[in-house]
Every structure is written in C-alpha cells, then in structure tokens.
Structure 1
Amino acid sequence: MKVKRIFAPDMRQAMRRVREEIGPDAVIVSNHRVAGGVEVVAAHEQEYEAAQAEFKRQNEERRRRESPPRQPAGGRQEAGLDDEMRKVRARIASAQQQVERPEEPGLGVVRNRQIEREDDEDLRSILETLKSRQQARAEFPPLDAEPPRRMPDPQPQPQPQPQSQEQAGQDGDHRMILTMQQEIQQLRAMLENQMKAPQSQPQPSPRPQVPAAQAKLTRRLDSLGIGGRVVRHLVGNIEQGIELDKAWRSSLARLSDAIPVVGEEFIERGGMVAFVGPTGVGKTTTIGKLAARYVLKYGSSSLALVTTDSYRIAAHEQLRTFGRILDVPVRVADENHSLDEVLRSLKGKRLVLIDTAGMSANEPHTGEQIELLKGISLRLKKLLVLSCSSQRRVLESAYETYRGLGLNGCVLSKLDESGSLGEALTLAIERQLPIAYVTDGQKIPDDIGVARRHDLVSRAVVTAQKALEREQQSGDDPGLSFIGQAG
C-alpha cells in the first residue's frame, strides 16, 4: 500500500511533495500541525479506503491510550461532536491563515475564497460536495485506469438515540476524516492554481474566433488593396449568419459611403486652382483635359493657364501647346515674373488653372515650390494629383509633403494603369481628402470624370478581378473569387 507520511515547514511545500512522491492522483488522508511545520498523510486514490481504514485504526488505538474515563453515551456523543466541530474550525482557520500568508518572495497575498464562513451549513455543504464527487468518479471512471472503488457515502445524522461510546466515536472520526479530506483537497486545488498562474498577473482572455464569413470578406477587401483599419471597420458589424454574397454587397455599400468625394464639377466654381503632386502623376495632362471641358462649355475668353515649372528644360511647352489649341493665354511664373504678380494680372479671368513643378519630397526645390504657393496673397485652391499606379508609401509621402498647403481635394489619375485602387481609396478615407476627379487615359477631354462613390467601388472591384484573372492565367491562383460588384 503506497501511503506516505510527509513532514514539511508549511502546507504549500507539503502539497508539492505529495504531488512529486505519489502523483497527481494522490488523496490526503489526514493533516495536522506539528512542531516545526505540518504533517500530511497521503495515499494513492485507488488505495484510499485501505489507507483510511489504517488511519482510523491508528486513531482508535491512540484514543484508547490517551482518552480519559468514558462518559455516558448521550453526553459522550454531544461532547465528541462539539470537540470535532471545534477541531475542524481550528484547522480551517489555520489553513486559511497559511494560504493568506505569502510563503515565497514575489508572491502576492492570496486569499482563500472557498472558505469564507465557518458555520454548520458550510460543513454540511462540504460533506454533500464530497459525496457528489465520489459518485461522479464511480459513474465516469478514467478511460486509462481501473475504476476506483466507491467510497461509502456519509450517513445522514440520525435522531439522538442511545448508542455505545465506541459507535459514537467511530461516527465522529468518520465525519472528521471526510471533512478534513475535503478541506485539504480544496487547499490543494487552490495552491496548484496559484503555482501555475500567480494572482498578480491576470490571465489573458482567449481571443475570440473570427467567423468564417468575416474571414472571407477580409480576404476579398484585402485583395482590393483596402487598408487594414478600413477593412476592420467594414466587416466589424456584419450580421452573424448572413449569406456571403449579401455580406459582400453590404461591405461594398459601406465602403462606398465611407469614400469622401466633391460630387460636382470642381471647375464650375471658378477661381484659381493649383494642381500639386510628385513628378509624372499627370498634372499637366489633367489641366489640359479640364481646360478643354471648360472651353467646350463656356468658351476660351474667361480661362487662363499658368505654370511655375521653370526647373526642367521645355517643361512648359506642353501647356503652351494646349493654350494654342484652345486659344487660351498661358503665363509662366519665373525669376522675372513672380507667381503673385502673374495671378494678379489674371484677376479678370473666371478660371485660372495653375500647373506646378512635379517634385518628390526629397528634392531640394520642393520646399521652394511650397513656400511659393503659400506666399500667394490671392485666394488659391489646391488639388493634389495622385497616381493610382503608385504604392501606398508613395501616396502617403505625397500627401505628407503637400498637406501643409491646405488641400481642398485630390485627383486620382491613371486608373487604367493601376492594378489596385484600394491604396488610393484608403488614403482618401483615412485622411478625409475629397476626391474631385478621376482620369483613366490620354484622350482629351474624354478620359476624365467627376468622382462618384459607386463608380469608384465598381472600378476597384473590376480592377481586382482583372488582376486575379491575370494571376490565374499565369498559374498563380490565390483561390479568391468575387461575387458581383457594388450592387
């Protein structure tokens, strides 16, 4: 019979030794305080009844040697119950103090929340818990072990009847052993939890699983080039259990609502409009298209073109060509004629379109161009031209370079050359930069139009679908498919 009597300075170390020497299926037969620490008697779960009987026999022999002359049966039973009740309460209080006092450096104060009240109702609850646990073990034994022998259920307290002193003493011992066993099992479970995870460090809550519909929607929106923060916003409130095609159309509708657009012909308002942005994004071509649209509708007498690009050789020749074709005056701002002077000379024109030098953020003349535009005394509108064929970092860099001017909106160019529109749409959504126009070719004045939310989303889906088809034809199938468009 594998029964161990273990001495330790405290209950924590005693429980650790029980687990190491007997194993996780150990059952505490008894425990009590001794000089210098605690004494714990433990046995394997399958040998619990034999150990309990042995412990009971030893207690009876020790009681016979140490007990005073016996009292009458009725008085002996009541006194024994009172004594055992006081002993159990003392042991519970002692165990609670032992757990509340930190045993090792770095451990916070741990309170025993399982033992809060010390009254008869708690003791009866402990007995009932032990009974139900033993019944559960008997009904559902482990698959890899023999079913443990069922421990006899504690008998309900009979009505006070005359009985022998020996029988009363046995009943009291039995109740005491059951109560102590349950108490130690509770303490052991609590201490094991403390050793696994200290109370001072709360356990992280499990991360909720993403529903399958949301995961598929996230992949599709990612394939459009939409940024992660915008994607999370779009799929975050999708209804549970909704069909995938409905969820997809709902996400596209929400994307459409989130895109900021001017929604009307920007040049119809008149005034002086400067087009800024990096080199090669199509500023001059965009100005030519807008000038042609305006001349076809209002004539050329109220329109003028201006360029500030004096850094590149023959940089203003393309704009001069547009002026000759449209019969529109073209002015150049240089070291002899400042931009402010040129614009003041054109105050009589209803619309003035200004072409600026295209430079990146790292070029030395970029700061000069920005200061030139800031120093204008007249009211000046600024539109940032962004190429949809550029990467997200290039778009962000262009925005950060010119944001100090006070941008009134943007123009998305080269939609026909782009493999994804999501990056430009994400920038417009996150920065709340209204989109005024979109361009998708070199034809003047046909390949330009006022930005519309629904049209932008449809173009984004069609562009992603074409990119997907090209990947599939090349043999690199990412396993995506699109269900319709903005609907």
Structure 2
Amino acid sequence: MKVKRIFAPDMRQAMRRVRDEIGADAVIISNHRVAGGVEVVAAREEDYELAQAELRRNQQRNQPKSRPMVAAPTDPTDDALASELRRAQVRISEARRRAEQPEPQVNQTINRQIDAEEDEDLRFILQSLKTRQEEQARKEVSHERNPEPDNLWGSATTSSAPSHADEEPNQLVKSMQQEIQQLRSMMEQQLSQGQHSLAAPSAVPERAKDTPLQARLHSLGLGEGLIRQLTASIEPDLSAEMAWKNTLSRLADSVPVIGEEYIARGGMIAFVGATGVGKTTTIGKLAARYVLQHGSSGLALVTTDCYRIAAHEQLKTFGRILDVPVRVVDENHNLDEVLLSLRGKRLVLIDTAGMNAGDAEGVQQKQMLASVSVRLKKLLVLSCSSQRQLLERAWANYQELELNACVLTKLDESGSIGDALTLAVERQLPVAYVTDGQKIPDDLIVAQRQDLVSRAVLAAQYTGSETGSESDSQMFRAG
C-alpha cells in the first residue's frame, strides 16, 4: 500500500495537500499535531481497502484449526463505511476548528471562495454517506428476504436466534450507521451556521450607504478607515472614472515603501512573523540575490528556531548551496554571542521562530531579539493570504521590537492584497519587498508604490469583484 506522510502548518493546508497529491478518494489513516503544525498519514482508498482485505485473509489463515465455526466474511460495505467515517471525522474536526476562528471579512473574495469550496466538500460527504446508508438498507432487506445458511457448510439446521458470527458484523454496521448519522447532523449544523453567518444582515449595514467610488475601493479589499481617508476630499463634480483614478493615485502616494534594495545597506537583519508566512524562503531568495551580486564571502545566515523538529535544515540547505556559513542559536550559543562572532560579515540574515504572543517561547524570542548588543534591524514578514485580523495580530505581537519595515509574501496565493496595504498605510510600516512565487531568487522584487496598487487592481479584476478597465492598473506599472 502506498502511504504518504504529509506535514503542514494547519489541518486545512494538510487536507488540501492530501487532495492534490493523492486525490479526492484519499483515506486519512491518522492525523495528529506535531511541533510546527500537523502530520497526516493518508493513502488511496482502493489501496487501503486492498491492504485491509489482505490483512483479514492473513488473520483467517492464522486462526486455530480447532475452531468449529468459520466466521462469516466481512461485508465490503463495512470497510467502505469505516473509510467514509474516518474521512467524515477529519472534516468535522476541520469544521470545528474553522468555527472557533474569527469570522472572515465580507469584503475578502478569496475567503468566500475557500468557504464555498469547503461547503461543497461537506455536501459531498453528506451525499456520499446518504448513498452508503441506502445501499446498506437495501442489503439488509435482501438479507431478511433470503437468509443465508447458518454456517458456511450449508447445514439445514435452523435456529430462531442468530449466531454470534452473524450478529457481530450486523451490530458493527448498525453502530457505524448511528455514528455516521450523528456526524451527519453535526455537519448539517456546521453548514447551516456557516450559511447563516454569511447571510447575516448585520454584516453589511454600512455597505448599503457606499457610493460607487467607495464600493470600488471595497472591491480592492481596503479597510473602512482608509477608504474614508481616500475619498474625504474628492471633488464632487469629477466624473466617475476621473475620481477613481485620482483616488488610486492618492492610495499610491499613501503606501509607505523603502523603494530600494534593502539588503544593499548591509547590517544584521532579523525576519520575524508567524509560522508559515515565508520567512525562511524569503531569506533564501535574498541570500541568493546577494551572492549573485556581491559573492558569498560577506554573507552569513543565522537561525534562532530550535523549537520545531529540523526547523533549521532548510536554512542549512541554502547555506550549502550558496557556500555561506549558517549559525544556530541554542542553549550553548545565545544570539548575542553568535552575532558578535559575525561582526566581520557585511550582511547577516536572521531567521526566527514563529510564535504566538502568549507563548513562553514567543516571549523568550522577543526578549532575545530586544536584548542583543549589536544594532539589529527587524523586518515583519506578512502573508497576503492571511485575514486582516491575523495581520493586525502579527503587527501587535512584534511592534514592540521597533520594526523597520515589512515584507509582503504569497501575493500569488492571495485574491486580494488590500488588507496588507491597509495595515502598511495605517501603521506606517514601510514595505521593503514583495514575493509572488517559490522561485529563488526570481519571485522577489523591491516594493514600489505604483506596482502595489496595480497588483491590488489586477487581483480585484481577476476575482471579478472589480470591473474596471485594464488601463486602471496599467497606468501604475510604468511608474
């Protein structure tokens, strides 16, 4: 049986990888939390059922020969129900996790699309369970009309009470059906709650008052406060298109950016942010770019992440490829000692562990970064695919470190970058770089105001929430 072990930061990404790598008919064999995320073991349903059948055959061959009765073979439907039950349990745990998270903003088109996709998955599970139950019911009716012999030897002896071998599989099937029915009720409840939250009238009272210009800005994913700021002094006699272009120009002027190659200044730069936002990959891209331009002799890499299993292996791989030293901060070598030993390097890029604000390890990480004796610059790495609440939480978690700038990652995975732009404008946090893919070092560029606004317009047009012309975004590209 071909079994795949998949690691991911959370269950949603793990299930997406299972679907992509194995297929929609994958069976979840086990799942549990590990340091840095979750581990899921999965296999194709067909392979899993064949392996189960082979195991049963081996067990039957190894049974004592003195046993007078041969147990009735397990109905294949039992295996199918058991497999469906395992998949349903995973879906339910994922639905519960989503229910505990903050509700997504109404103006985030990409989140609505993801929710719709997951709702469809749940409906598919419900329909599949219903079909399985109907098939089992037909089998039971057929069995009552045409009962099997009491044993495999075809004895004509009859008995009013079923044998233990016949009764046990039926009890197992009924138990499964009861548990599946409970899961079905829970999933229907989750679906109804999700649909109710999306349709709640309280979510859009202010949007009904939007002007056409404000509605177009909402389609970019911008926050309410920023929209009011951009439209506060727009001349009322301007045409709709001229007002739109003037507002986009104001937006571009308000976005703070570094506007130049940040690593060209040299120094020691720490990259902070939540787990999974792309800190290590961003460091790899910047390191490769620096080596291509200046060589490897003046560069060193450092990691403070000793909490996750093999967390520093990716950074060490970059170091071997680029021929640059990689230092690991641990209980024997604190950050200050490591950085002092690298004072002769022109550029030191520091990868940090992603921690929550309340974690003891997170507090320790921040104290370590704040207490070093060397001058340290800090860049906050933000994923554009994250919701506004998560972006704000990341900023609140690290802002006490006196952040110098930020890096916006995963633009290629986001349906809107308005939330990230809103945070940068409202917190006056300059954008140093943006990344839009996994290629090293190609998919990383120096942030420019006009390009960021152009990307916001293009993203809205791509998702269908903004119907402006292509020229709306083209007018910023040349700038």
What's the TM-score bracket when you normalise by the shorter of the two chains?
A: 0.5 to 0.7
In the other structure, the counterpart of 1:485 is 472
In the other structure, the counterpart of 2:286 is 290
Equivalent-residue separation in structure 1 for 2:253 and 2:455 (angstroms): 15
Q: Please state how far the C-alpha of 1:300 moved relative to its aligned partner.
A: 0.1
Equivalent-residue separation in structure 1 for 2:447 and 2:379 (angstroms): 13
In the other structure, the counterpart of 2:405 is 409
Q: Which amino acid aligns with 1:482?
A: G
In the other structure, the counterpart of 1:32 is none
Q: Which amino acid aligns with 2:411?
A: L
In the other structure, the counterpart of 1:345 is 341
Aligned-residue sequence identity (percent) comes to 65
Question: Are the equivalent residues in 2 in contact too, given 1:214–1:235 (CA < 8 A)?
Answer: no
Q: Which amino acid aligns with 1:481?
A: T
In the other structure, the counterpart of 1:391 is 387
Equivalent-residue separation in structure 1 for 2:312 and 2:324 (angstroms): 14
In the other structure, the counterpart of 1:156 is none
Question: Are the equivalent residues in 2 in contact too, given 1:213–1:244 (CA < 8 A)?
Answer: no
Aligned-residue CA RMSD (Å):
1.7
Q: Across the two proteins, how many residue pairs are aligned to each other?
A: 267
Q: Normalising by structure 1, report the TM-score.
A: 0.54
* Structure showing greater Rg: 1
Name stretches of at least 5 consecutive residues in structure 2 with no aligned partner: 1-205
Q: 2:263 pairs with 264, 267, 278, which one?
A: 267
Q: Which amino acid aligns with 1:374?
A: A
In the other structure, the counterpart of 2:324 is 328
Q: Please state how far the C-alpha of 1:358 moved relative to its aligned partner.
A: 1.2
String of CA shifts for 1:82-140, please: whole Å, max 9, x gaps. Answer: xxxxxxxxxxxxxxxxxxxxxxxxxxxxxxxxxxxxxxxxxxxxxxxxxxxxxxxxxxx
Q: Please state how far the C-alpha of 1:214 moved relative to its aligned partner.
A: 7.4
Q: Please state how far the C-alpha of 1:338 moved relative to its aligned partner.
A: 0.5
Deviant stretches of 4+, over 3 Å: none
Question: Are the equivalent residues in 2 in contact too, given 1:214–1:238 (CA < 8 A)?
Answer: no
Equivalent-residue separation in structure 1 for 2:431 and 2:375 (angstroms): 21
Q: 1:279 pairs with 265, 272, 275, which one?
A: 275
In the other structure, the counterpart of 1:440 is 436
Q: Which amino acid aligns with 1:383?
A: L
Equivalent-residue separation in structure 2 for 1:384 and 1:363 (angstroms): 18
Give runs of aligned pairs for residues 10-89 of structure 1, distance below 5 A: none
Decide whether aligned partners of structure 1 residues 252 and 216 sit closer, same or farther in structure 2, where only a CA change above 3 A counts: same
Give runs of aligned pairs for residues 92-107 of structure 1, distance below 5 A: none
Q: Normalising by structure 2, report the TM-score.
A: 0.55
Question: Are the equivalent residues in 2 in contact too, given 1:420–1:460 (CA < 8 A)?
Answer: yes
Q: Please state how far the C-alpha of 1:213 moved relative to its aligned partner.
A: 12
SS in 1 for 2:349: strand
Q: 2:296 pairs with 287, 290, 300, which one?
A: 300
Give runs of aligned pairs for residues 180-259 of structure 1, distance below 5 A: 215-259=211-255
Q: Please state how far the C-alpha of 1:296 moved relative to its aligned partner.
A: 0.2
Q: Which amino acid aligns with 2:456?
A: A
Q: Which amino acid aligns with 1:485?
A: D
SS in 2 for 1:485: helix
In the other structure, the counterpart of 1:190 is none
SS in 1 for 2:373: coil
Q: Please state how far the C-alpha of 1:362 moved relative to its aligned partner.
A: 3.6
In the other structure, the counterpart of 1:314 is 310
Equivalent-residue separation in structure 1 for 2:244 and 2:322 (angstroms): 46
Q: Which amino acid aligns with 1:298?
A: H
String of CA shifts for 1:322-342, please: whole Å, max 9, x gaps. Answer: 000000000001000011000
Equivalent-residue separation in structure 2 for 1:282 and 1:359 (angstroms): 14
SS in 1 for 2:355: coil
Decide whether aligned partners of structure 1 residues 392 and 399 sit closer, same or farther in structure 2, where only a CA change above 3 A counts: same
**Are 1:452 and 2:451 counterparts?**
no
SS in 1 for 2:257: coil
Equivalent-residue separation in structure 1 for 2:351 and 2:472 (angstroms): 36
String of CA shifts for 1:184-240, please: whole Å, max 9, x gaps. Answer: xxxxxxxxxxxxxxxxxxxxxxxxxx9x99711100101111111110111121112
Q: Please state how far the C-alpha of 1:288 moved relative to its aligned partner.
A: 0.2
String of CA shifts for 1:140-160, please: whole Å, max 9, x gaps. Answer: xxxxxxxxxxxxxxxxxxxxx
